[in-house]
Structure formats: structure tokens, C-alpha cells
Amino acid sequence: MCPQNGDAPLDGVQDAVAVEGKTDGLNGPNGTPHPHAANRHSSTSQHRNPYAPRASDFLNNVSNFKIIESTLREGEQFANAFFDTETKIAIAKGLDKFGVEYLELTSPAASEQSRRDCEAICKLGLRAKILTHIRCHMDDARIAVETGVDGVDVVIGTSSFLREFSHGKDMAYITKSAIEVINFVKSKGIEVRFSTEDSFRSDLVDLLSIYQTVDKIGVNRVGIADTVGCANPRQVYELVRTLRGVVACDIEVHLHNDTGMAIANAYTALEAGATHIDTSVLGIGERVGITPLGGLVACLYAANPEYVKSKYNLAMLREIENLVAEAVEVNVPFSNPITGYVAFTHKAGIHAKAILNNPSTYEILRPEDFGLTRYVSIGHRLTGWNAVKSRVEQLGLQLTDEEIKDATAKIKELADVRTQSMDDVDSLLRVYHSGIQSGVLEVGQKDALDRLLREHRAAQLASA
Ligand SMILES: CC(=O)SCCNC(=O)CCNC(=O)[C@H](O)C(C)(C)COP(=O)(O)OP(=O)(O)OC[C@H]1O[C@@H](n2cnc3c(N)ncnc32)[C@H](O)[C@@H]1OP(=O)(O)O
Ligand SMILES: O=C(O)CCC(=O)C(=O)O
Ligand SMILES: [Zn+2]
């Protein structure tokens, strides 16, 4: 792994340094010396600098990547998806406003309307580059280059499964048609990408050989596709890193989410030197889809918030997700990163206290950077007096800490029976406060408080 280093344990020390660098928000090896390094390795470290940059520091593209947004291609392969022209244009404009670098559209060979929609989106004059996605076949390529796209994404299966059961072609034929299609697209002066479908179940020698061939003839990007979602982060790292050493062109990854790895795999691909990541809004695509745009953005924001904020209009994310969710008739999942309805809701008393003091205690993403708001939920039995105190202050009530703790005990007692709404909690706090103010209530007088609450409820019912 490290050319200067034949001493295995040193790798461990280097890992520790890399972690320190990250903690400082640095990509490079600028961390302070590891306290144990000198003692443990003094004999070898005389000859080399253990803190010198490693190959992996230079490969890492976590803060240098482009998104190829494929909601209008992979996303159209989602079981529920039917996008009419108007919806496609709304999605394209929304994603463009968000700031994705590329939009990938369904093949114009798929249907007459697909071809017309592709042309219509090319004419919108968006900032994002427009790509279309075709089979590795001259018939498709001829149609694609006439649509006005900025580039063509070419794909063909290389695994034995697809060679035998999909297109029936061997590697020699695949290579020959790849060269023909790539040269043809290039001759039109537009970008071309060549991708192998089912890369992780393809023979490594076949893969590297075809990628090297297309790189030599000037393809702009090569793509690796985890078509069945079988890859894990380590496999992704190894394949991308190996490919990085073989081709000079950009590297795109397309990662399905069948085993829930798509975001982690995308992150790891960037660490290994990938330059472009395919996404779709909410991850929609064949089966359970691919790397979701929002989840990827959350993950990359956590790594480098300033870079991600500078590239994308993050406050647009919710609007785009809602647009696509509505178009394909699904709900945004409750646990969705950033936009899930509980993404910034804090509940347990211990969390609530710390969050109220400093949100970074329990938040890696700042809701305000996404145009969103944090919530502290208090009407439940896991609440604590610090959270209740914050609400008391918001309501402008004057209560001592001892009184707030007493009121909190009542909230918990009631919440043991059922969760209390914010209105329930507010009423209780107001009743408690007026009881204290008027002198009919003192700390610990449970019966008096129960009576005041009963009277309050009766008055509410009478006025309803
Ligand atoms: C993993 C992915 O998601 S890849 C992208 C998938 N996208 C699509 O399929 C786009 C939508 N598809 C379509 O509209 C149609 O399938 C079309 C227009 C592409 C082709 O339709 P048809 O000609 O009716 O063929 P059909 O879909 O039944 O079969 C696919 C054909 O493409 C061939 N083929 C499959 N993959 C490739 C490829 N990557 N490169 C070249 N040829 C291919 C198959 O051998 C088959 O050829 P055949 O007609 O000689 O049997
Ligand atoms: O073109 C590509 O890279 C990917 C095609 C695709 O959708 C897949 O293999 O899952
Ligand atoms: Zn796919």
C-alpha cells in the first residue's frame, strides 16, 4: 500500500494520523504527530516521514466530485414512475436550480415521446449538462446524437450473466462495438462515457482491458455499475482504486441499493478516486433504486459542509423530493436523511438539554443549512425539566427551577398514560403558572394541581 514502508505496523500509525487530519477538517496529513509514533517506530522513522502524504490522500475526491442526476433515466425505471413532459421539465428545472452538474435522460430509442422529451429538455438552456443513456449500439447512438444532448452515456453488460442471458455477445464483440460507438459520438463533438453493466460480477481482467481500450481512444468517462447492488464498500474501494491506476479519464459510479449500501458505496468510491456519482431523487430506480440524491448530499455535507454548501442550493432539496414523491405517488420516508419528518426532532431529555445548549451535541447536519427547523419534543415520559424550562421561557412564564421540575413530574405522569400534544403541555404549564401566581398552588401539591387541571378542562369543554 505504501511504497516507502516495508514495516507493517507503521500502516496502523499512518491510519491514526489520517484520522487526526480528518478531525481537523483537513484532507492532507497535517495532523500533529501521533504521540506513540516516535516511541514505537523510532528505528524506521529516521529514514522516512510517517506523516508524508499517502497515495490515498491524493486519490480522495470527497471534496471534489460531480453529480450525474438520473431521476429522469434510472428514476423512470422505478415501478411507479410515469413522467409526462411537463413533469420531466419541472424535475429537470428543479434539479438544475439545486445545482447538479449533469442530468441523465432516458434513451431516445425507448419511444417517440422519450425522444421528443429529450429534445425539449435540451432546449431549456439549463446550466446542467444534459446526457442521454443508450445501449452500446450504433442504432441508439445515431438517434442520441441528434437530440441536442451534451453527452451520451453508453452501457453494455460484461458479466457472464448478461453476456449469456441478455445480449449474448463476447468481450471481443463488446470491445469492437464500444470503439465504434465511442468514435461515432466523439466525432459529433459531444461527451461520451462508456460503462460496463454488472461490473462487480464481471471478470476483472475483462473490465480493466476494455476500460483501458476506451480510455486510449479518448472516452471522457468510464463507468462502474453495481447493477444488482451486490457490492460492499471495500469491494467498491478496491475496484475504483485499481481502475484509477489504469485509466486517465474520469470515473463514474452507479450503485444500486438492494442491500442498503448505495450511499456508503458512493462515499467510498469518491475516497478511492471516483469523480462522478449517479443519483436519483429519493433513490428511485429499478427495484429499490440507486444512491439517493438527498442521502448522498447528507453524507458529503457531513464530510465537508462548506464545499457542499458552495456547490448546491440545499434549501431546494425538500421541494424537489416532494415534487418527485408526488409524481411517483410515494411518501418521503420518515427516516429520510435531511427531509424525513423526524430528521431534526429531538426527544429524550438528555438529548434535549444538550441540544438546547449547543445543537452540535446531537446534530451532524445543521437544519438551517437546508432551510429547515429543529424541534424539541417534550410531551412524553422521556422528557426532562431542562426541555420543559425552555418551553416555559418560550411561553413567557415565570417559574423557578423547583416549580418547573414539579410541573415536569406532572407531564411525565400524564404521558405515562398517553403522549401529550404541545397544546396539552402548554395548557398544563399555564395552569401551573397561574396556580402558583394566585397562591392556590405550591410545589408538591399534587391534589391541588389535579383539581386546577380538572377545572381547566371543564371550562374548556363548556366554552367549546
Ligand atoms: C441496467 C440498466 O438499467 S440498463 C438501461 C435500461 N434501459 C432501458 O432498457 C431503456 C428502455 N428500454 C427500451 O425501451 C427497450 O428495451 C429498447 C428500445 C432499448 C430495446 O427494445 P427491443 O428492441 O424491443 O428489445 P428488448 O428490450 O426486448 O431487448 C433488449 C435488446 O437489446 C440488446 N441489448 C441489451 N443490452 C444491450 C446493450 N447494453 N448494448 C447493446 N444491446 C443490448 C438485447 O440483446 C436485446 O436485443 P434483441 O432485440 O436482439 O433481442
Ligand atoms: O450506465 C450505467 O453505468 C448504469 C446502467 C444501470 O442502470 C445499471 O447498470 O444499473
Ligand atoms: Zn441502474
**Would you tell me how many other CB atoms lie within 10 Å of the CB of residue 205?**
9
Look at residue 356 and tell me whether its pLDDT is greater than 70.
yes
Averaged pLDDT score across all residues of the chain: 91
Is the pLDDT reported for residue 50 higher than 90?
no
Q: How many helices (H) and strands (E) does the chain have?
A: 19, 10
| Region 76-104 average pLDDT | 98
Q: What does the alpha-carbon distance between residue 122 and residue 115 come to, in Å, rounded to a whole number? A: 11
pTM: 0.89
- Provide residues with CB under 6 Å of ligand 1: 77, 107, 109-110, 135-137, 155-157, 166-167, 197, 227, 286
Q: Quick check: 324 and 284 in contact, CB under 8 A? A: yes
pLDDT at res. 399: 98
* pLDDT (0 to 100) of residue 460: 93
Instruction: Starting from the CA of residue 225, give the closest ligand.
Output: 2
Query: Smallest Cα–Cα separation from 161: which of 130, 128, 197?
Result: 197
Neighbours of 335 (CB within 10 A): 9
Residue 232: Cβ within 10 Å count = 14
What are 417-437's pLDDT values in tens digits?
999 999 999 999 999 999 999
Query: What is the model's pLDDT at position 46?
Result: 60
Q: CA quadruple 107, 111, 114, 118: dihedral positive or negative?
A: positive
Element (H, E) at 156: strand 151-157
Does the pLDDT at position 41 exceed 80?
Answer: no
pLDDT at 218: 98
Identify the pLDDT of residue 19: 25
Distance CA 191, CA 418 (A): 60
Q: Is 247 helix (H, G, I), strand (E, B) or coil?
A: coil
Distance 86 CA to ligand 3 centre (A): 24
According to the model, what pLDDT value does residue 10 have?
Answer: 27
Three-state SS at 256: strand
277 in contact with ligand 2, CB cutoff 6 A? no
What would the mean pLDDT of 185-214 be, rounded to a whole number?
Answer: 98
**Which ligand 1 atom is the nearest neighbour of the CA of 169?**
45
What CA–CA distance (Å, rounded) separates 226 from 266? 11
Residue 226, classed as helix, strand or coil, is strand
Q: What is the phi/psi pair of residue 242, to 5°? A: -65, -45
Largest CA distance in the chain: 92
Is residue 17's pLDDT more than 50? no
Whether 41 is catalytic: no
Given a cut of 80, whether residue 362 has pLDDT beyond it is yes
Residue ranges with CB less than 5 Å from ion ligand 3: 74
How confident is the model over 91-133, as pLDDT tens digits?
999 999 999 999 999 999 999 999 999 999 999 999 999 999 9
Query: How many CB atoms within 10 Å of residue 260?
Result: 10
